[in-house]
Amino acid sequence: MSVDVSSLPFSPLFIVVAVGYASLSVLVTGPAIIGRENEKSGWHALCQSGLIAEINAASLPDRPVQQVPDVGALLCGVYPELGQLCQLIPDPNALAREAERELQEAEARRIERAASGTADSCSCAEQVFVEEQRLSIALYAASGRLIVPPAVATRDAGLSRALRSSSCARED
């Protein structure tokens, strides 16, 4: 059974043009428009600053080093003539201070490593959002931004959901 295109109420060229325009909206103009709108809204910078704030909030709190009385300093304070003996008595807090310093350096390196991946996570969220909402974005672009589908209207929430998705999971 063949379809007689001459009996259609519109030209077959109209169908070809409509399909081409829809394809162009789905593949090119829709993602470009959403990318520009994300840029204009500053979502990428907000995303990065939010992720860095989360990373910093999850960092280990600074713990004060418990101070043990320094017997050598006490002896030298009371008996200055024992100066050479005082030098032989080690500072009991030195090892604890050194361990705390190393722990703080390791935590700083962990935070720096985690923060360096925030740009990738935010870009990933933008790409996942475009892929998940491609048809809504295409409708938005094809209508000249006159029709705003719910997915596009709540773009920030959609981007946040995409950021938290398993596709864009970060390793801290």
**DSSP string spanning 101-152?**
HHHHHHHHHHHHHHHHTHHHHHHHHHHHHHHHTHHHHHHHHHTTT-S--HHH
Residue 30 included in any domain: yes
Q: How many domains does the chain have?
A: 1
Residue 81 included in any domain: yes
Residue 127 included in any domain: yes
Q: Which domain holds residue 104?
A: 26-168
Residue 18 included in any domain: no
Rounded to whole angstroms, how far apart are CA atoms 156 and 165? Answer: 14
Residue 11 included in any domain: no
Residue 89 included in any domain: yes
pLDDT tens string 125-163: 999 999 999 999 999 999 888 999 999 999 999 999 999
pLDDT tens string 90-125: 777 777 778 888 888 888 888 888 888 888 899 999
The proportion of the chain whose per-residue pLDDT surpasses 90, expressed as a percent, equals: 36
Residue 12 included in any domain: no
CB atoms within 10 A of CB 170: 14
pLDDT of residue 71 exceeding 80, the answer is no
The pTM assigned to this predicted structure is 0.68
